[in-house]
Amino acid sequence: MAKTLNVSILGYGMMGTVRAVAYEAVSRYYTNCPIKPVLYQAFTLPVEAEAAKESGWDAKSDLDAVITDPGCDYVDVCLPNAMHYDAVMKALAAGKHVFCEKPLSVTVDEAREMMTAAEAKPELLNAVNFIYRRCPSNVYARQLVKENKFGKLLEARSFYNQSWGGPDTPYSWRFGKAGGTLGDLGSHALDMLYYVTGMRPIELCAMQHTHIKERRDPKTVGSDLAARMNRGADGPQGEMVKVETDDATRIMYTLPGGAIGSLECTRNAWGTENTHGYELYFENGAIAWNYDDVNYLKIYDASKPERGWSRVLSNRGGFAYPSFADGHMYGYRDFTVNACYENMLKIAGADEVAPIATFRDAYNVECTIEAVRSSWENRCWVKLADFT
C-alpha cells in the first residue's frame, strides 16, 4: 500500500482551492503513485474559514501553527507573493517538504536565501508551481528540442497575455510592489523558455509600463470569488490606491549559441484570457504552442516538400501523463494533478515524468526579473551575469 503524506495548504484563494482538488485526485488518477497525499490542514483568513470548513477543509487561521504542526509533512504555499518568503523559510526550518507558488519571491535576495535553505536539506522537496511544464504539449516540445529535431535555435518569441486589468478592476495585492505582471505572467514565460530550450537570456533590454496608475480598493478580501479574481463584481468602493507595479512588460534578449528572442506579458490585451505560448524558429523548422489550443503542439518541418504547420495532438497514447483516452482534452486542473503527482514521485525518489521546477530554477527566473527591472530603470541593455 502507498505511504501517506500529510499536506497542509496555505491560502484559500484561486490556487489553494485548485490544489485541494488536485491532491485528492492524485492517487485516484495515478494508481501507481508511490505516495498518497492526504489533506491535513489549511491556513485561511478568518473571513474565509467558514466557507473553507463547509467545503471540508480543516481550516485554521494561525499561519505559523499550521506550518509547524508536527502532523504536517508537506506545506503547499498558495499565498500572495509577498508572503512566500516567510512561509517557505519557516516550513523548511520545521523540516517540511515545500511546494511554492510562483513567483518564488519578491526579490532575488529572498530567492537566493530560499534556495540556499532548501538545498541545505536535500531530503526535502523544493518545488515551484510553473504549471505549464505539466502540459504534455510542452513535454513534447522539450523532447523535440533535446533530440535536436530542427537544428540550431535562431529566434524565440514568448507571450503571456491576459485581459482583466482594465480601469474598472479594483486594487488587490496583484497591483502592489510584489504583484506585477512580470512576476505574475512573465515568470511563467521565462521558465517555459528555459524548460523547452534549456536556455536562459544572457543579455536583455526591457521596458515596463503601468497603464492604470490608481485603482479603487474594493475593501473585500478572500471570501468573494469575483473579488478574488479581481473582476470587481461589487462595483467601485473604498479609496483610490496607487498602483506600484507594471501592467505590461516587453523584453528583447539574446540566448547562448547566438539566438535572439522577445517576450511580452500584459493584463490589458482584450480578447486574450490566458494566452500563454511561444514560437521557436530553428534552422530547419519551427515549434509553436499556445495555451488557447493547449492540447496541441504546432510543428513546422522545413525538410518536408509540402510546406505547412502540423497540429499534433499531444495527449495521445498516454504520452507523458496517462489520459483516459486519446483526445479527451486536458485542462488546468489536470496539469495541477500532474504537478502534485510529480511532487510525490520526487519525494519517493522515483523518476519524474518531466523535470520539476526547483527553487534553483525559480531563483534563475528571479535573476532575470531583476535584470528586466534594472534594464528599464536605467534604460539600457544588461548582462544576466551581473544579477546572479
Ligand X SMILES: NC(=O)c1ccc[n+]([C@@H]2O[C@H](COP(=O)([O-])OP(=O)(O)OC[C@H]3O[C@@H](n4cnc5c(N)ncnc54)[C@H](O)[C@@H]3O)[C@@H](O)[C@H]2O)c1
For CA atoms 142, 144, 146, 151, give the dihedral sign: negative
User: Minimum Å distance from CB 195 to ligand X?
Assistant: 14
Contact 24, 16 (CB under 8 A): no
For CA atoms 243, 270, 272, 197, give the dihedral sign: negative
Per rule CB under 6 A, is residue 45 in the interface with ligand X?
Answer: yes
Out of 12, 74, 160, 282, name the contact with ligand X by CB under 6 A: 12
Which of these ranges, 8-16, 21-29, 33-41, 359-367, lies near ligand X under the rule CB under 6 A? 8-16
Which residues make Cβ contacts (< 8 Å) with residue 166, sequence separation at least 6? 212, 268
User: Minimum Å distance from CB 204 to ligand X?
Assistant: 22
Per CB under 6 A, contacts with ligand X among 98-157 are 101-102, 129, 131
User: Minimum Å distance from CB 36 to ligand X?
Assistant: 23
Tell me the residue nearest to ligand X as measured from the CB.
13
Largest CA distance in the chain: 64
User: Minimum Å distance from CB 200 to ligand X?
Assistant: 19
- Please report, for the chain, how many H helices and E strands are present, in that order: 11, 17
Query: Which one, 107 or 205, has the nearer CB to ligand X?
Result: 107
User: Minimum Å distance from CB 205 to ligand X?
Assistant: 25
For CA atoms 81, 86, 92, 96, give the dihedral sign: negative
Out of 13, 136, 165, 232, name the contact with ligand X by CB under 6 A: 13
Binding mask 365-384 for ligand X (x = CB under 6 A): --------------------
Per rule CB under 6 A, is residue 14 in the interface with ligand X?
Answer: yes
Which residues make Cβ contacts (< 8 Å) with residue 158, sequence separation at least 6? 189, 190, 192, 193, 261, 262, 263, 264, 277, 278
Contact 113, 91 (CB under 8 A): no
Query: Which one, 87 or 153, has the nearer CB to ligand X?
Result: 87
CA angle 125, 128, 133 (to 5 degrees): 115
Residues in the chain, overall count: 388
Out of 11, 201, 232, 277, name the contact with ligand X by CB under 6 A: 11
The Cα–Cα gap between 336 and 8 comes to 16
Per CB under 6 A, contacts with ligand X among 65-104 are 78-81, 101-102
Per rule CB under 6 A, is residue 47 in the interface with ligand X?
Answer: no
User: Minimum Å distance from CB 227 to ligand X?
Assistant: 9
Per rule CB under 6 A, is residue 44 in the interface with ligand X?
Answer: yes
Per CB under 6 A, contacts with ligand X among 272-331 are none
Which residues make Cβ contacts (< 8 Å) with residue 132, sequence separation at least 6? 138, 188, 191, 192, 276, 291, 335
Cell of 303: 525538410
Query: Which one, 16 or 37, has the nearer CB to ligand X?
Result: 16
User: Minimum Å distance from CB 129 to ligand X?
Assistant: 4
Return the half-sphere exposure (C-beta side, CA atoms, 13 A cut-off) of residue 201: 34
Per rule CB under 6 A, is residue 226 in the interface with ligand X?
Answer: no
Which residues make Cβ contacts (< 8 Å) with residue 271, sequence separation at least 6? 163
Out of 149, 157, 177, 228, name the contact with ligand X by CB under 6 A: 228
Query: Which one, 113 or 224, has the nearer CB to ligand X?
Result: 224
Per rule CB under 6 A, is residue 176 in the interface with ligand X?
Answer: no
Out of 48, 110, 264, 342, name the contact with ligand X by CB under 6 A: 48
Closest Cα to residue 357, out of 130, 119, 114, 96?
Answer: 130
User: Minimum Å distance from CB 218 to ligand X?
Assistant: 12
Per rule CB under 6 A, is residue 342 in the interface with ligand X?
Answer: no
Look at residue 150 and give its three-state secondary structure.
coil
List residues near ligand X by CB under 6 A. 11-16, 44-45, 48, 78-81, 101-102, 129, 131, 184, 221-222, 228
